[in-house]
Amino acid sequence: MNEFEKSGPAVPGAKTADAKTSRTVAAGPAPGPAAPAATVLDVRGLTIRTDQGRALVSDLSFSIGAGSRLGLVGESGSGKSLTALAVLGLLPPGMTASGSVVLAAGADGPGAEVVGASEQRLTGLRGRAATIVFQEPLTALDPLMRIGGQVAGPLRRWRGLRGAALRRAVREALEQVRLPEPDRIIRAYPHEISGGQRQRVALAMALACEPALLIADEPTTALDVTVQSEVLALLDGLVAERHMALLFVSHDLAVVSAVTDHVVVLKDGSAVESGTVDEIVRRPRHPYTRDLVDSARHLESALERIVR
């Protein structure tokens, strides 16, 4: 048995509305009214509490349509990562969710409720309905299994591939995330490749599921600036190619504004503001949002002075 059979924006990086539109509108005659995008994630009144009753996320609501991109931004402790975990029913022990989280279970079928769902039901949703890329890929990768075997897992499960077809698909998955020397990576263990390469592997595994929704939870925070920029550009392109919806979680407004269309700003577990990237960046209403925008501007100015 072989390896694969074993198992003008004010914020730096922000895009203008025209740049975003050009991703999805093809050249040609002016189209008629667009049909509303199917909803792939609908969150209503989500509240997350500890066993002691303390609310960590309070009455949070938002939705994401097919092919749309939403950013959750806020400082550490704002509840953004807990929200991402709750979407997949992955809250840690000692925490409970209430409200409603509905994931699209299929192209034409009804949505599936995540809150209160059985583990069997959740297992069926994770992967094809939605999947997640974490901040530190070492937490998602098995340190005792070669990379090839780990990428093969979702390809085998969701696409039913075996043998030579599976081996080809694993290599193609690594090539799609721009990993050099894919044959070497296939044979390597997670500790034998760099942090940026591990994050690309985690992204390849997530995309192998062909999800309707990709959740990226601080996917570039642990990387240096150069690698961060490369991974963001890669993520942006791959999501666009596959017409996937994206929920992007970060403390960095500049990063969020570079890859999303709409933003929800979280503070102390509550949404204090939401809107398009352009609205949030150019016309922030809440004092906390204004602080985030000002911080991003000051960082850009400091970097420009250093470069000079």
Instruction: Estimate the crossing angle of helix 147-159 against helix 195-208, to 10 degrees.
Output: 10
Give yes or no for a contact between 46 and 266, defined as CB atoms under 8 angstroms apart.
Answer: no
pLDDT at 221: 77
Contacts of 132 (CB under 8 A, 6+ apart): 84, 88, 90, 206, 214, 215, 216, 217
Q: So what's the pLDDT on residue 128?
A: 85
pLDDT score for 26: 34
DSSP letter string, 193-251: S-HHHHHHHHHHHHHHT--SEEEEESTTTTS-HHHHHHHHHHHHHHHHHHT-EEEEEES
Radius of gyration of the chain from Cα atoms? 20
Per the structure block, which two tokens stand in for 75?
A: 């400082």
Q: How many residues does the chain have?
A: 308
The stretches in the chain having pLDDT less than 70 are 1-37, 105-109, 222, 298-308
By C-alpha distance, which of 127, 156, 106 is closest to 1? Answer: 156
Phi, psi of 294 (to 5 degrees): -60, -40
Which domains are present in the chain? 3-7+10-18+41-307 (3.40.50.300)
CA dihedral over 280, 284, 286, 291, signed as positive or negative: positive
Write down the pLDDT at residue 87: 97
From the number of C-beta atoms within 10 Å of its C-beta (0-12, 13-18, 19+), residue 89 rates as buried
Q: What pLDDT does residue 300 have? A: 57
CB burial class (10 A; 0-12, 13-18, 19+) of residue 189? middle
Helix axes 225-242, 195-208, angle to 10 degrees: 10
